[in-house]
Amino acid sequence: MTLVTRMRATTASRHARAERSGIVAAILSGRASRTGYAMYLRNLLPAYRGMERALERQEALAAVRQLARPALYRADRIAADLVALIGPDWCDQVPLLPSGERYAARVEWAGAGNGTRLIAHAYTRYLGDLSGGQILRRRLAQQFGPGFPVAFAEFPGIGEGGAFVAAFRAALNRAASQTMDDEPVLREAITAFDLNIELSLEVNAAARHVDTDPGIAPM
């Protein structure tokens, strides 16, 4: 089996749990608040920034650097959504939670050295954004209406059809073929899903606290 196929099989139960947990489940069921979505973006952003910087490091394995595809980059689009949702001072208004800090720190650690563990994080986030992320985008548009900021889940640099996705999967597999051992990448994929679930749960709890506490102004 290819590495992508093995990662899918290895993380299948966690993938299912991620869809049923926290803010992701709230978005899918149409119950997410504007506050929750803003917190979700705020806490994903440092991980994306770290991953996108690390993918372009010259010290990274050449095959890992081939995963650095600007059409996939999410950091600037997340920041644009936060400005639209909260304003230019979003960094002061929306908290970075412990789970967001841990996720970003793990991505930075994965990018050290030749960066092979980044393969797992690129798989988890970018392929997820290209598939399940489109369902989230549609749910948010249905709940909040046209014009709601969902640049995070839009890919204007990618054409229609699955050619880009297939090419990116192939690039993930090529990167894996140049590593000495796939097992660290597989283990890192499990860790990446666990961190995403933890973040989703903490964001949802924090957003519900803001939304239900009369002493806190909603975002």
Instruction: Return the CATH fold of 3-7+16-208.
Output: Heme Oxygenase; Chain A (1.20.910)
Instruction: Find how far residue 25's CA is from the centre of its chain.
Output: 15
Q: Which residue has the tokens 């606290």?
A: 209
> Percent helix, strand and coil across the chain, each rounded to 5?
70, 0, 30
pLDDT of the chain, 219 residues: tens digit per residue? 899 999 999 999 999 999 999 999 999 999 999 999 999 999 999 999 999 999 988 777 888 888 999 999 999 999 999 999 999 999 999 999 999 999 999 999 999 888 899 999 999 999 999 988 999 999 999 999 989 999 999 999 887 668 899 999 999 998 888 776 789 999 999 999 999 999 999 999 999 987 654 445 556
Q: Using a CB cutoff of 8 Å and minimum separation of 24, what contacts does 6-15 make?
A: 6/182, 6/186, 7/120, 7/123, 7/185, 7/186, 7/189, 10/186, 10/189, 10/190, 11/124, 11/189, 11/190, 11/193, 14/190, 14/193, 14/194, 14/197, 15/193
Decide: pTM greater than 0.85: yes
The residues spanned by each domain of the chain are 3-7+16-208
Report d(CA 81, CA 144) in Å as an integer. Answer: 14
